[in-house]
Amino acid sequence: MIGSSVGPYQVLDKLGAGGMGEVFLGHDTRLHRKVALKCLAAVPGADADLGAHLLREARAAARLNHPNIAAVYDVIEHEGRTIIVMEYVQGESLRAHLMRGRIPIEQVIAIGRQLASALATAHAHGVIHRDLKPANVQLTPDGSVKVLDFGVARLIAPVDPTTDVVTTTRQPSVMSVGGTPGTPVYMAPEQLVGGQADARSDVYSLGVVLFEMATGRRPYGDAGSMALVAAMSAGDAPPADAVDSRVPHGLSEAIASALEREPEKRCQTARELEDALGRLGDPASTTGIHPPGALVLSAKTTWRLATAAAILLTIGVVGWRPLLMRWRAHGTPTHPTVLAILPVDNPSGDPQGEYLGAGIASLVADNFASIPGLTIVSRAATTPYGAKRTDLEALQRDLGAGYVLDLSVEAASPKLQLAARLRRPGSTVPDWSEVIAGDALSVEKMLLERLGRALEQSGALARSLTRAEWDRLQTLPTTSSDALMAYAQARELLDKSGNVDRAIALLQQATTTDPRFVTAWALLGGARLEKYQTERLPSLAIQATAAVQQALALDPNQASVRYQLGNVQYRTGHLPDAAESLRRALELQPDSDDTHRLLGQVLADSGNIDGAVAELKKAVAIRRYWGNPFTLGFVEFNAGRYQDALDAFRAAAELASSNPGPLQMLGTTYYLLGDTQQAIGNLEHALRLGKSAPAYANMAMAYYEAGRYEDALAAYQESLNRDPRSALNHRNIGDVYQRLGRTSDARQEYERAIALGDELLVVNPNDVRTIALVALCEAKLGRKDAAERHAAEAVALARAPNNREALQRSAEVHALLNEPEAALKDLEGAVASGFLPRMARTEDELASLRKLPRFEEILRRQAGNPAAAQGAQK
């Protein structure tokens, strides 16, 4: 086959062969990437249904999208053989790695967690592997792990979410490749004797792999099938720590739970095993092996709109801005006092003063957030006010600040001199002021104590601090001056939107110097997530997860760590986990508007709009800050409640008249309501305030609606210059090229949008909007099967308000593929969920439907459309 073509794939080389068939290295001529072509072997004597069965199994595997699973891209038939097109994974197999020697225990745990996470995701989609072994695990050059060969898994009943256990009985009438699949020494007892095979069989196989990694041998040696059955019948597998005393007892127990002979006694799910390994403490982030559950941003798009989530990154939801901790206590006031910490002034001119000031201010923010009844506005949010630090009324108006901490570094060396002032808007005399001198650690200690006394005496707390609160308040996160300096310098870089790469290097230095520096680990995770948000490289999301997991292992009772965990879980599509983490953060810090705001976003994406609005209204009540009504407006907007969205965006614009974000969304909402002039006016004003990627993209959208295609193209290209890896921008530019008659250019843009969308889905495989966008671009390129599959997947995954977008995209896909009945059915659902009839009448993709009588019938009906009650139907 070498040198020939299989569909769009050129066969370059042979990678290997086995009982399952041959594997070739291929080149995808459309997306210009390497792929692995697995040509399944024919089975002698197989019945006529075998090919269809193999195709079903491979397509089941194609639904899996997880950072630790080698993706299945395509399934094709070629000269009577089924060929599975898979991700080509460079690196070496775990088998080869084991042959070179024993693996360190921390890597055993890290690899095991990744494998368990991959299996849990597969089982949740109704797929079992049946042949997990070191040869099917690839270690990549960047240190991550990939499970291979899910392409020959059996389709089983999906996991019941109440039990997380799946079971299926082998049916002799359905043949599998090579007879009973699996390698005997890694197979569960029930598989060896031809009985039931379910998710717990994969758990057993993982137990064998863990045992081998930890001890260097397999639990029952290298016996054949019959000898293995006899050995298993004779007794349990030996404990791993009995075979090798270097194996920690906790790890040995986790392995033993996976190796129980009876499935009912065995660890019941891969997720349970993953959790058990996680409780052992995973130092994976210092070993180059990342923990499971890749974590990041899902693309927030609505129709042709630029991502409003990009605007949200400016309001304090960005991962590296640490949320501040507080303990739950009785007597917490309903409306907490808001303390804003200004960026530290540095009249000394010493660069070291900048870094020390940043570190000290962040420490004050972190520690004082532990006080019930006090909400902290950190330097990240107050940065715009640094140049006008005497305008306390602006801080009170925009951020709800009742008190302001103003710090000034008078000298950085030979010893630090820090001037501190506690001020109130409307008062010309500070409530407290003092110059504190000494080394950095002693200055921090004194500042925390003196500020606490000042807040007590000023009445800001309305009570005296308890002994436990004083202890927490005066606890330093590190005793290392070097680690503190590296952390402080990194904070300064991040707060000023500086060199993120340099900040990451400094935080790595801080965590190496003091491996128990929890806030440095948390900030490292946030910084890596910040870098991912710009570059969208999946490895960055994985690295962010590793750092946050390390912070969690060191101190699970910090609200800032729980917030960071919820943030990365949210941005990688783990919505239930994110909600749980954020609720835990609120137990620790109940009056944090940041956490209420992010939880509102999570609930909205989960389909719980009323719950989301309730959380966001709590955030609005806690603090007068433009980001709170803005996020509320964004949720109402996505739910099709456009008048409510306008009201919220206006409130946000009043609180932040110089911020382009609310004006961008006001313009976008007016656009959807059909008021193009108001839309363009607000969007042009937003552009004058800030030339961001979303501002240009939304401006381009309005130009496109007005028929100004050359202006739209220029605006989209300006947006793309600022966000070159935006799949949505490439799709929109493709549409403009189509309008301008540049068909070849349009196709290239759709191809690019698909490729970028695929990369996003590596990190967040449940991102409905991106899946639907990929489906639409595939339909525009005439790829019927792929477009239909992805459109159906988006609809199946969608939760309100995403349901409207998924149904709309599906309607557009079917319309483009000349399938009017399916398109009209989806259109009806989309309109009922909030898709505006006005938009349906103007969308290019739906043009083929507009001549059909049912089209107008569907639009006139409008039953259930949430926008109907708000006068949005035109």
List pLDDT tens digits, range 796-821. Answer: 888 766 688 899 999 999 999 999 99
- Higher-confidence position of 165 and 854: 854
- Give me the pLDDT at residue 564, please: 86
Strands (E), 392-446: 403-411, 416-423, 432-438
Q: Looking at residues 651-660, what average pLDDT do you find?
A: 81
**Residue 470 confidence (pLDDT) above 90:** no
Cis peptide before 384 (omega within 30 of 0): no
Alpha-carbon separation of residue 177 from 16, 73, 103, 192 (angstroms)? 17, 20, 33, 16
Helix axes 820-832, 853-861, angle to 10 degrees: 10
Least confident piece of the model among 40-49, 344-353, 572-581, 636-645: 40-49
Given a contact cutoff of 8 angstroms between Cβ atoms, the answer to whether 392 and 421 are in contact is no
517: Cβ–Cβ under 8 A, 6 or more apart, which residues? 477, 478, 480, 483, 487, 510, 511
Confidence of residue 55 (pLDDT cuts 50, 70, 90): low
- Give me the pLDDT at residue 78, please: 81
Reported for 235-242, long-range contacts at CB under 8 A and 24+ positions apart, including other chains, are 236/260, 236/261, 237/211, 240/210, 240/211, 240/214, 240/215
From the list 272, 460, 481, the residue with the least C-alpha distance to 371 is: 460
- Give me the pLDDT at residue 58, please: 63
- Give me the pLDDT at residue 797, please: 83
d(CA 291, CA 548): 10
- Give me the pLDDT at residue 297, please: 24
d(CA 807, CA 287): 44
**Residue 361 confidence (pLDDT) above 90:** no
- Give me the pLDDT at residue 228, please: 57
- Catalytic positions, written as ranges: 131
Amino acid at 452: G
- Give me the pLDDT at residue 193, please: 66
- Give me the pLDDT at residue 682, please: 81
- Give me the pLDDT at residue 387, please: 66
487 by Cβ neighbours in 10 Å (0-12 / 13-18 / 19+) ranks as buried
What stretches of 743-801 show up as alpha helix (H) in DSSP?
743-763, 768-780, 784-797
Least confident piece of the model among 116-125, 159-168, 233-242, 526-535: 159-168
294: Cβ–Cβ under 8 A, 6 or more apart, which residues? 66, 67, 68, 538, 541, 542, 545, 572, 762, 763
Confidence of residue 158 (pLDDT cuts 50, 70, 90): very low
Least confident piece of the model among 167-171, 705-709, 811-815: 167-171
d(CA 481, CA 473): 19
From the list 496, 497, 490, the residue with the least C-alpha distance to 520 is: 490
What tokens does 126 get? 């109704």
- Give me the pLDDT at residue 822, please: 93
**Residue 683 confidence (pLDDT) above 90:** no
d(CA 590, CA 583): 9
- Give me the pLDDT at residue 238, please: 86
Helix (H) or strand (E) holding 808: helix 802-816
Q: How many CB atoms lie within 10 A of CB 272?
A: 18
- Give me the pLDDT at residue 255, please: 95
Q: Report pLDDT digits (tens) over 230-256.
A: 566 556 788 998 888 889 999 999 999
Least confident piece of the model among 152-161, 330-339, 610-619: 152-161
**Residue 321 confidence (pLDDT) above 70:** no
Q: How many CB atoms lie within 10 A of CB 265?
A: 10
- Give me the pLDDT at residue 43, please: 52
- Higher-confidence position of 736 and 864: 736
- Give me the pLDDT at residue 872, please: 44
245: Cβ–Cβ under 8 A, 6 or more apart, which residues? none
> Which single residue is written with the structure tokens 């671009």?
777
Helix axes 481-495, 351-368, angle to 10 degrees: 90
- Give me the pLDDT at residue 125, please: 79
Q: Looking at residues 731-744, what average pLDDT do you find?
A: 94
Q: What is the mean pLDDT of the chain?
A: 79
Q: Looking at residues 200-223, what average pLDDT do you find?
A: 86
- Give me the pLDDT at residue 320, please: 31
**Residue 294 confidence (pLDDT) above 80:** no
d(CA 62, CA 56): 10
Confidence of residue 137 (pLDDT cuts 50, 70, 90): very high
Given a contact cutoff of 8 angstroms between Cβ atoms, the answer to whether 178 and 41 are in contact is yes
What tokens does 124 get? 């949740």
- Give me the pLDDT at residue 645, please: 92
Helix axes 627-638, 660-672, angle to 10 degrees: 20
Confidence of residue 54 (pLDDT cuts 50, 70, 90): low
Helix (H) or strand (E) holding 610: helix 609-622
Most confidently modeled of 8-17, 143-152, 684-693, 705-714? 705-714
From the list 187, 198, 56, 69, the residue with the least C-alpha distance to 121 is: 69
- Higher-confidence position of 307 and 97: 97
Q: How many CB atoms lie within 10 A of CB 790?
A: 27
d(CA 28, CA 10): 7
Question: What DSSP line would sit under 43-85, residue for residue?
Answer: -TT--TTHHHHHHHHHHHHHT---TTBPPEEEEEEETTEEEEE
DSSP conformational letter for 226: H
Confidence of residue 870 (pLDDT cuts 50, 70, 90): very low
Range 580-596 burial, b when 16+ CB lie within 10 A, else e:
bbbebbbebbbbbbbbb
pTM of the predicted structure, to 2 decimals? 0.52
Q: Looking at residues 170-185, what average pLDDT do you find?
A: 42
Q: Report pLDDT digits (tens) over 65-108.
A: 788 888 887 778 787 777 888 888 888 889 888 887 778 898 89
User: How far is C-alpha 57 from the geometric centre of its chain's CA atoms?
Assistant: 28
- Give me the pLDDT at residue 183, please: 67
Confidence of residue 869 (pLDDT cuts 50, 70, 90): very low
**Residue 115 confidence (pLDDT) above 80:** yes
Percent of the chain residues topping a pLDDT of 90: 24
Beta bridge partners of 419: 408, 435
Confidence of residue 287 (pLDDT cuts 50, 70, 90): very low
What tokens does 465 get? 């601090």
801: Cβ–Cβ under 8 A, 6 or more apart, which residues? 604, 607, 609, 638, 639, 640, 833, 834
d(CA 718, CA 704): 15
Confidence of residue 607 (pLDDT cuts 50, 70, 90): confident
Q: Is 21 helix (H, G, I), strand (E, B) or coil?
A: strand
- Give me the pLDDT at residue 429, please: 86
Beta bridge partners of 418: 409, 436
Beta bridge partners of 85: 37, 74
- Higher-confidence position of 174 and 369: 369
Longest C-alpha distance within the chain, in Å? 93
Beta bridge partners of 138: 93, 146
Confidence of residue 60 (pLDDT cuts 50, 70, 90): low
- Give me the pLDDT at residue 188, please: 85
How would you classify the pairing of strands 145-147 and 9-18? unpaired
What tokens does 583 get? 């609720």
> Which single residue is written with the structure tokens 């989806």?
826
d(CA 355, CA 509): 15
> Which single residue is written with the structure tokens 């305030």?
689
